[in-house]
Amino acid sequence: MTTSLELQAIHKHYGAVQALGGVDLSVAPGSRTAIVGPSGSGKTTLLRIIAGFEAPDAGRVTLGGRQLADGPEAVPAHERGIGYVPQDGALFPHLTIEGNVGFGLPRNTPKRAERIAELMDMVALDSAMLARRPHELSGGQQQRVALARALAQRPRLMLLDEPFSALDTGLRASTRKAVAQLLGAAGITTILVTHDQAEALSFADQVAVMRGGLLVQAGRPLDLYLRPRDAAVAGFLGDSIVLPAQLAGGWADCALGRVAVNDSGRRGAAQIMLRPEQLQVAEVPAEAAAHGDACYGAVTDTDFGGSVCVLSVRLVRGTGPAAAAPAPSAAWDEPLLVHSASMHAPALGAMVRITVAGQAHVFSA
Amino acid sequence: MSALPLDAGADAALKPAVAVLLPAPAAGRSGWRLSWVGGAALVVSLLALLPLGFVLWVGIQTGWDTASALIFRPRVGELLVNTALLVLLTVPLCAVLAVALAWLTERSDLPGARTWAWLLVAPLAVPAFVHSYAWMTVAPGLHGLTAGVVVSLIAYFPFLYLPVAAALRRLDPGMEDSAASLGLGPWAVFFRVVLPQLRLAVCGGSLLVGLHLLAEYGLYVMIRFDTFTTAIVDQFQSTYNGPAANMLSGVLVVCCFALLGLEAAARGKERYARVGTGAARMPLKRKLGRMAGLSLLLPALLSVLALGVPLFTLGRWLLAGGTAVWRFDELGPSLVQTLGLALAGALLTTVAAVPMAWLSIRSPGRLQRVLEACNYMVGSLPGVVVALALVTVTVRLPIYQTAITVLLAYLLMFLPRALISLRAGIAQAPVELEQAARSLGRTPTQALWAVTMRLAAPSAAAGAALVGLGITNELTATLMLAPNGTRTLATSFWAYSSEIDYAAAAPYALIMVLLSLPMTWLLYQQSKRTAGR
């Protein structure tokens, strides 16, 4: 039942505005792909083209070997058998929940009622709700009904258009998890569109980052997080520290001193990236910085956020041999963001020693 | 009733139903119900019950034997069949036409869609009896049921087109996307998702058209088609205040209530608003492709029939009549009299609506809802019933055959228009502002005038304008109630066209159309605004 989806050079314009400028993407059978990007990056347009609500100006969409669109020649949405759950569920207000879930099931479907009950069961909703109206349900329940309605078609591919964004934080995570499990168990290839990077990273096997109508990078969530293609992708997927550095033999000399990098071949000037959780801070006496041979900084701001405390640390140049390395960033003045466990967070104004765990990522070019 | 009653009728029908259905929250905490506001609202509401009370009173007075003798006779059966056929044929045709046109102008890439939309609303500026006058000129042989249905269709379809187009614009296209992804073709999506969502608009519009069909007099007299209303006016003019006319009007009132009940049942209790949050995306326009040319025929044909024919006819008669028909010694006084009545009536009606509108927004309760329902109900009664009731009540009073009685009739007929506009306006003035004014030392009444009414003034003005427009084009009640010598634009037009002096009638028709045009434009703009676009 599982089917792979191939997108080739998808282009789409709205008047003079380019919405998609040549997107290639391939989605493995049974996998979960998240398309992320800021608003206006073209992710929803891409989803609508896959669903068949709109036709691309150019480019090809194939699903399981069947060509769905080749430029403006497109199979209409209702002949594609692709499930779709929109942002707000778009339940039909004039029908009961039963009418909504069974909307795509013809009247004479054998065991129609059983099938509807089974679908309600799948999305963990009580069958007693079937007689209710959409507005009598909570937001999370409405989303589940929308999912059940789409599942009734036994779709080969399920498209989720920011389906969790209308839910509150707690419900959001649990619904996301439930949906991921449900779709995974059913073996349905899934594409999720979202502007929430945490949601994308946790939900998907493959994350595709879009920007300005182009697909900038696609890959496994961890790969993307640790090895983003450029600073913008890095920043989109989470807080990042980008520093200029001089590379040589798998090491980088930068404002933080000598740091291991994940590219042993590169030499010369480059940009490196670290995630804030790679930096570890330990409080030291104020005068330590003057004599120490490591990298020191002063805490200029603390932002308490519950379990994690985000510190702003301004580098203080030490006099030791490591600090005296010829860093190209001698004038590096920006405060660094450091994630610290709240329990051990240094106080405002404290002097800290900074160490780097793991390797820094080198941006190509 | 006049040619331009807008959404007043629709809401008139809706309000009583809503009032009954919705359990009202506990009545307001304050002592407002006993204040002058409550008292004034009560007086106006009781006045609004007058026509209904008249029908009941006449029924009891006449006694069952006489009443049944007057009601159960072949003539009444004939009228009933005529009226029922007229409604049953015209309303569904109007609905189908309106949905098709609204879809073309709102959801397809019809060339010049905005222009067509305006052209399809513009016929509202032509009073219904001017429509039939135009058709009598073009096709003098036109008469009977077919003619009645055709001319009614042309005169009244904008009442359905306007709300249906607005509803189509508001519809969330996400639902159509979902339906398509569930395997429904475009036609199935339209019938299973779009059409059910249009139900409220179609029901409301149909009711409005139906009430007009029951109330219209001039249109049907001209094409010699007998309905209850024409029969009542005939009876009234021949036997004056006889029980026959009164009994007929009783049956007509029952017909009106049957329509109201039918609509309330058809609209059901479902909720049709969008369930989700956030803004809906703009609907996609469906490509007509090769069908574009064919599709253009429909709005083009209707524009020709509903706008072209009246304008062509008026032009023709004006040309034929030359300067001779512009008798300014008659036109001038007629215009002055009409504007005077319209102004006085609009002012009276708006002021009378203020207490009720304020109460219904500020302290909604069960009693207020019942009172409000009375106000709306009277607007859905035909002008002929209101006029008969006032004749019966005032015949022994000094105000009989004076402008006061005419104004009272206008007040009763057009109260819902003023009320709806005022309600909307007052709802926009938050109660906190009034409270702030009171905390700054104003009495409640001062606060109402200085803050709420100031903010509601634009809506009040719009409501007053709608009432004024209704009065300008009103024929039936004016004919029956106006003091001798009164010549409004509508009655002058009627007098001339009854004498088959079509050329002399043309200037009056032209002035009525010109006076109505700005208001029609306003309506069109308003319907676009309520749709949020």
| Domains of chain A in sequence order | 5-231 (3.40.50.300), 239-362 (2.40.50.140)
CB contact under 8 A, A103 and B179: yes
> Residue B124: what pLDDT?
87
- Look at residue B479 and give its three-state secondary structure: helix
As given in the structure block, the two tokens for residue A217 are 């990078």
CA A174 to chain CA centroid, nearest Å = 17
Among all chains, which residue has been given the structure tokens 């475009």? B186
- Look at residue B286 and give its three-state secondary structure: strand
Nearest CA in chain A to B185: A78
Average pLDDT over residues A17-33: 91
CB contact under 8 A, A88 and B196: no
Q: What is the C-alpha to C-alpha distance for residues A323 and A210, in angstroms, rounded to an integer?
A: 39
What percent of chain A is predicted at pLDDT more than 70? 93
Determine contact: B199 vs chain A, CB below 8 A: yes
> Residue B249: what pLDDT?
86
Write the CB contacts of B126 (distance below 8 Å, at least 6 apart in sequence): B3, B134, B155, B306, B307, B310, B513, B516
Category of B157 on φ-ψ map: left (φ > 0), alpha (ψ -120 to 50) or beta: alpha
> Residue A332: what pLDDT?
65
Å between A80 CA and nearest CA of chain B: 7
Q: What is the C-alpha to C-alpha distance for residues B11 and B354, in angstroms, rounded to an integer?
A: 17
> Residue A329: what pLDDT?
45
Q: What is the C-alpha to C-alpha distance for residues A89 and A98, in angstroms, rounded to an integer?
A: 15
A258 has which bridge partners? A253
Which strands make up the sheet holding A157-161, listed edge to edge? Answer: A82-85, A157-161, A189-194, A32-36, A206-211, A214-219
Give just the sign of the alpha carbon dihedral A97, A101, A107, A112.
negative
Determine contact: B226 vs chain A, CB below 8 A: no
> Residue A318: what pLDDT?
54
Q: Nearest 5°: CA angle at A358, between A352 and A360?
A: 90
- Look at residue B209 and give its three-state secondary structure: helix
Q: What is the C-alpha to C-alpha distance for residues A336 and A324, in angstroms, rounded to an integer?
A: 19
CA distances from A267 to A321, A365, B329 (A): 22, 12, 102
Nearest CA in chain A to B273: A93
CB-based burial label for A110 (10 Å; 0-12, 13-18, 19+)? exposed
Task: Find the helix or strand (DSSP H, E) in which B100 lies.
Answer: helix B74-107
Decide if A70 contacts A63 (C-beta within 8 A).
Answer: no
Among all chains, which residue has been given the structure tokens 């398309």? A35
Which domains, ranges and CATH numbers included, belong to chain B? 8-267+297-530 (1.10.3720.10)
Q: How many CA atoms lie within 13 A of B107 on its CB side?
A: 20
As given in the structure block, the two tokens for residue B93 are 């045709």
As given in the structure block, the two tokens for residue A253 are 């000399």
Å between A40 CA and nearest CA of chain B: 14
Among all chains, which residue has been given the structure tokens 């309303």? B91
> Residue A290: what pLDDT?
65
As given in the structure block, the two tokens for residue A68 are 């769905």
Query: Average pLDDT by consecutive 10-residue portion of chain B (533 residues)?
Result: 40 38 38 65 86 86 81 86 93 95 91 90 90 88 88 92 87 85 88 88 88 90 89 83 80 87 78 54 75 88 92 91 82 90 93 87 78 81 87 82 89 88 81 75 76 82 86 88 86 89 89 88 76 44
Q: What type of residue sits at position B317?
A: W
Which strands make up the sheet holding A295-305, listed edge to edge? Answer: A279-284, A351-356, A295-305, A308-316, A336-341
> Residue B279: what pLDDT?
52
Mean pLDDT value across chain A: 86
Candidates B192, B197, B275; nearest CB to A135: B275
> Residue A324: what pLDDT?
44
- Look at residue B181 and give its three-state secondary structure: helix
Average pLDDT over residues A277-291: 80
CA distances from A58 to A22, B161, B315 (A): 8, 38, 54
Q: What is the C-alpha to C-alpha distance for residues A199 and A195, in angstroms, rounded to an integer?
A: 8
A310 has which bridge partners? A303, A339
CB contact under 8 A, A166 and B276: yes
* Nearest residue to B279 via CA among B199, B185, B172, B155: B172
For chain A, the farthest-separated pair of C-alpha atoms sits apart, in whole angstroms, at 84
Q: How many CA atoms lie within 13 A of A111 on its CB side?
A: 6
CB-based burial label for A126 (10 Å; 0-12, 13-18, 19+)? exposed
> Residue B248: what pLDDT?
85
Nearest CA in chain B to A159: B181
CB contact under 8 A, A53 and B277: no
A214 has which bridge partners? A211
Gyration radius (Cα) of chain B, Å: 24
CB contact under 8 A, B175 and A54: no
Q: What is the C-alpha to C-alpha distance for residues A251 and A253, in angstroms, rounded to an integer?
A: 7
Nearest CA in chain A to B275: A135
Candidates B192, B272, B276; nearest CB to A90: B276
As given in the structure block, the two tokens for residue B332 are 């001038």
Under the banding of pLDDT at 50, 70 and 90, the label for residue A330 is very low
> Residue B528: what pLDDT?
72
What pTM value is reported for the model? 0.76
Determine contact: B286 vs chain A, CB below 8 A: no
Q: Nearest 5°: CA angle at B474, between B470 and B479?
A: 155
Nearest CA in chain B to A148: B182
SS3 of chain A: the string is CCCCEEEEEEEEEECCEEEEEEEEEEECCCCEEEEECCCCCCHHHHHHHHHCCCCCCEEEEEECCEEEEECCEECCHHHCCEEEECCCCCCCCCCCHHHHHCCCCCCCCCCHHHHHHHHHHHCCCCHHHHHCCHHHCCHHHHHHHHHHHHHCCCCCEEEEECCCCCCCHHHHHHHHHHHHHHHHHHCCEEEEEECCHHHHHHHCCEEEEEECCEEEEEECHHHHHHCCCCHHHHHHHCCCEEEEEEEECCEEEECCEEEEECCCCCCEEEEEEECHHHEEEEEECCCHHHHCCCEEEEEEEEEEECCEEEEEEEEECCCCCCCCCCCCCCCCCCCEEEEEEHHHCCCCCCEEEEEECCCEEECCC
Å between B183 CA and nearest CA of chain A: 4
- Look at residue B427 and give its three-state secondary structure: helix
> Residue B3: what pLDDT?
39
CA A89 to chain CA centroid, nearest Å = 21
Q: What is the C-alpha to C-alpha distance for residues A252 and A328, in angstroms, rounded to an integer?
A: 11
CB contact under 8 A, A78 and B185: yes
Which strands make up the sheet holding A73-74, listed edge to edge? Answer: A17-27, A5-14, A58-63, A66-70, A73-74
Whether A272 shows a pLDDT value over 70: the answer reads yes
A316 has which bridge partners? A296
Write the CB contacts of B367 (distance below 8 Å, at least 6 apart in sequence): B27, B33
Q: Which residues of chain B does A53 touch, with a Cβ-Cβ cutoff of 8 Å? A: 177, 180-181, 284
